[in-house]
């Protein structure tokens, strides 16, 4: 009788931020502002890189793809979040929830791979500067990007199939901003051991594997910088890596906190705050980080603005 009374979930109801209706409009306007800045900032970065020949380098080629991923990554979650705030909740079909989870995982995985590739690019630039042009050829960097897209697609497919072959029963309410893995696992019933193992294994191949590449690359970079005799030379060399290191710290720091921890006793409020940061704030900050800390980007932007003034 107990098994017969279990109701399987066929749709999900997002209820994040609905406990305080008076906050709905201010939060909606805040997320709308952040989303518009994200779109303008990342699209502007892509256009700037394409227009200025001085930015036609491997690092900025990878950065343009990172900006494109940030636009896609944010667009999967932020409009959904704003809909939840306006409607005081949103109903998602099983298929739509699975599609959102797939796209979020796909774009997020590519982000991780691109940041790891950019760390390798900085390693070659600092540790093997004379061979940089021959190592980071157009064919090589294109291969890195295509590989990131293929690996992201494979990871997203496996994780989505594994997650949505689970049985969901009982309440269909998700106290979260979108269909993500931690809140979905709280709704599962029955034996889910095999699927969870597959999900964890593929998570290891994305976050920790990319972190190893980044950490090893920066270990060699730090050693190379310490060998530079002058303080000015060390500062100048490190400045070429500072923007990327800042972006990596923000992105992977929040992902580790969200996915690579025991969240059994964590509150939904804490999870929501962290998820808002890595899905909304970080995609907005990335173009600001790279534009404010990179001399080449600032000079290219100044050149474009001066050209506009002439008209």
pLDDT band at 161 (very low <50, low <70, confident <90, very high): confident
Q: Give pLDDT, residue 311.
A: 60
Q: Give pLDDT, residue 149.
A: 96
Report the C-alpha gap between 311 and 305 in whole angstroms.
10
- Find the mean pLDDT for residues 270-281: 80
Are the C-beta atoms of 107 and 152 separated by less than 8 Å? yes
- Does 35 or 80 have the greater pLDDT score? 35
Q: Give pLDDT, residue 81.
A: 86
- Find the mean pLDDT for residues 236-265: 75
- Residue 225 pLDDT greater than 80, yes or no: yes
Are the C-beta atoms of 107 and 204 separated by less than 8 Å? no
pLDDT band at 260 (very low <50, low <70, confident <90, very high): low
Report residue 231 as tokens.
């303080």
pLDDT band at 15 (very low <50, low <70, confident <90, very high): confident
Query: Percent of the chain, pLDDT > 90?
Result: 32
Q: What average pLDDT is seen over the chain?
A: 83
Please enumerate in sequence order all residues whose Cβ is within 8 A of that of 23, keeping only pairs 6 or more positions apart, or say none: 17
Helices of type H across the chain:
24-51, 58-87, 94-127, 132-135, 138-163, 181-185, 193-226, 231-259, 268-276, 282-293, 295-310
pLDDT band at 88 (very low <50, low <70, confident <90, very high): confident
- For the chain, list the domains and their CATH numbers: 11-261+268-309 (1.20.1070.10)
Q: Give pLDDT, residue 6.
A: 55
- Residue 267 pLDDT greater than 60, yes or no: no
Task: Kindly report which listed range (136-150, 153-167, 263-277) carries the lowest average pLDDT score.
Answer: 263-277
Per residue in 179-200, pLDDT (tens digit) is 887 788 778 876 666 666 776 7
Please enumerate in sequence order all residues whose Cβ is within 8 A of that of 221, keeping only pairs 6 or more positions apart, or say none: 122, 123, 126, 127, 241
185-205 burial, b if ≥16 CB within 10 A, otherwise e?
bbbbeeebeebbebbeebbee
Q: Give pLDDT, residue 1.
A: 37
Q: Give pLDDT, residue 3.
A: 46
Number of other CB atoms surrounding residue 18 within 10 Å = 18
Report residue 295 as tokens.
């001399």
Q: Give pLDDT, residue 265.
A: 46
Query: Percent of the chain, pLDDT > 70?
Result: 88
* DSSP secondary structure string for all residues of 76-134: HHHHHHHHHHHHTSEEEEHHHHHHHHHHHHHHHHHHHHHHHHHHHHHHHHHH-GGGHHH
Number of other CB atoms surrounding residue 231 within 10 Å = 8
Token pair 């969901």: residue: 168
- Does 200 or 48 have the greater pLDDT score? 48
Nearest CA among 209, 220, 239, 238 for reference residue 115: 209
Task: Kindly report which listed range (69-73, 114-118, 153-157, 271-275) carries the lowest average pLDDT score.
Answer: 271-275
């Amino acid at each position: 009788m107990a098994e017969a009374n279990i109701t399987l979930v066929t749709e999900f109801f997002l209820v994040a931020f609905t406990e305080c209706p008076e906050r709905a409009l201010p939060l909606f306007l805040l997320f709308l502002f952040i989303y518009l800045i994200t779109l303008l900032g990342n699209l502007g970065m892509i256009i700037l890189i394409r227009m200025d020949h001085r930015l036609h380098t491997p690092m900025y080629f990878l950065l343009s793809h990172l900006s494109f991923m940030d636009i896609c990554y944010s667009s999967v979650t932020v409009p959904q979040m704003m809909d939840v705030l306006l409607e005081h909740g949103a109903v998602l079909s099983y298929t739509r929830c699975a599609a959102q989870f797939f796209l979020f995982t796909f774009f997020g995985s590519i982000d991780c791979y691109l940041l790891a590739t950019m760390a390798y690019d900085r390693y070659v630039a600092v540790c093997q500067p004379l061979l940089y042009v021959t190592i980071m050829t157009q064919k090589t960097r294109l291969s890195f990007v295509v590989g990131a897209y293929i690996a992201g697609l494979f990871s997203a497919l496996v994780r989505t199939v594994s997650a949505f072959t689970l049985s969901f029963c009982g309440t269909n309410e998700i106290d979260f901003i979108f269909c993500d893995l931690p809140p979905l696992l709280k709704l599962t019933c029955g034996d889910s051991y095999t699927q969870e193992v597959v999900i964890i294994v593929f998570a290891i191949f994305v976050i920790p594997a990319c972190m190893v590449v980044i950490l090893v690359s920066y270990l060699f970079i730090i050693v190379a910088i310490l060998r530079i005799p002058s303080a000015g030379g060390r500062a100048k060399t490190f400045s070429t890596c500072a923007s990327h290191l800042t972006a990596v710290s923000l992105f992977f720091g929040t992902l580790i906190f969200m996915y690579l921890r025991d969240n059994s006793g964590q509150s939904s409020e804490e999870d929501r705050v962290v998820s808002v940061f890595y899905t909304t704030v970080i995609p907005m900050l990335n173009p600001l980080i790279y534009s404010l800390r990179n001399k080449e980007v600032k000079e290219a932007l100044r050149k474009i603005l001066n050209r506009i003034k002439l008209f």
